[in-house]
Amino acid sequence: NREMLEEVHRLLWQTGVRAELTGSPVFLDEAQASVRRDIERTGIVATVFVMVILVAVFRDPVFPLVAVVPLGVGVVWCLVFARAAFGSINLFVAALPATLVGIGVDYALHLWSARSEQRDADAVGRWARVYATAGPPLLVAMLTTVVAFLTLLLARLHLLPAMGAAGAMGIALTFGATALMLPVLADGCSRLGTGRFRPVSMGWLIRAAQSAARHRTATIAAFAIVTAPLLIAALELRISSDPRAYDPNLPSNRLYLELAAKMDIITTPILVAVP
């Protein structure tokens, strides 16, 4: 597509004709560039917001770096795996960096919290206790997420199995990177005099949970009343299979629809084949 479009642009430039291009080759070329921008944009924005939230809650400017470094390693490995396995990254896999950041940060949070509760002077003994207590639930959480992604391998739409395989591998790699790198990074920060665990007060959440526990019947009824109409609305969701719906603002897509309207033609014809 790229070589053909460059040739068309060169010929138009030689003839001096001012023109815009549309059609499947142009749309695919613009969609590929848009996917790359989306990967970069969503990954960066997700990382920045995660770091801001961690700083605001833990009140420690160093811990976000301790958590984000293993996440970055996991995301990079995931994208390399997707390229090696599939040769390219589809529209669904493009959303994985932001997804991995959102899910993978939990591993660092639980390990950091468990570490703050240990008082052993020996670093090896402290981390042994951390993994003895927090390790099993974290491992189960990772495995259940991996299994959920792997179920996408059963999908017939070829885009979903790629997302499932890359997502499962990305979660596993992020977990491994966090489990191995976090002790080194956390202890290194402690030697610098940082790593103080001083989270904001969760008193409001405690009071809300206590109130819900005291009024169990009212809590369940309230959730049921709110969820019932939302469930009906969810069952009526429509699924779009139009590839052009990915980004309707692509120049070639806007031009395509504009020409179809001006020329009064059907943009999605139905072809009938008979013997």
Per residue in 60-103, pLDDT (tens digit) is: 777 788 888 888 888 888 888 888 887 777 777 777 888 888 88
Mean model confidence pLDDT for the chain: 82
pLDDT at residue 121 is higher than 70 = no
* Chain Cα centroid distance, residue 184: 26
> What DSSP line would sit under 193-255, residue for residue?
T-----PPP-HHHHHHHHHHHHTHHHHHHHHHHHHHHHHHHHHT------GGGG-TTSHHHHH
CB atoms within 10 A of CB 38: 17
CA distance 232 to 193: 54
Per residue in 148-159, pLDDT (tens digit) is: 999 998 988 777
CA distance 22 to 5: 10
Residue reference for tokens 């020329």: 263
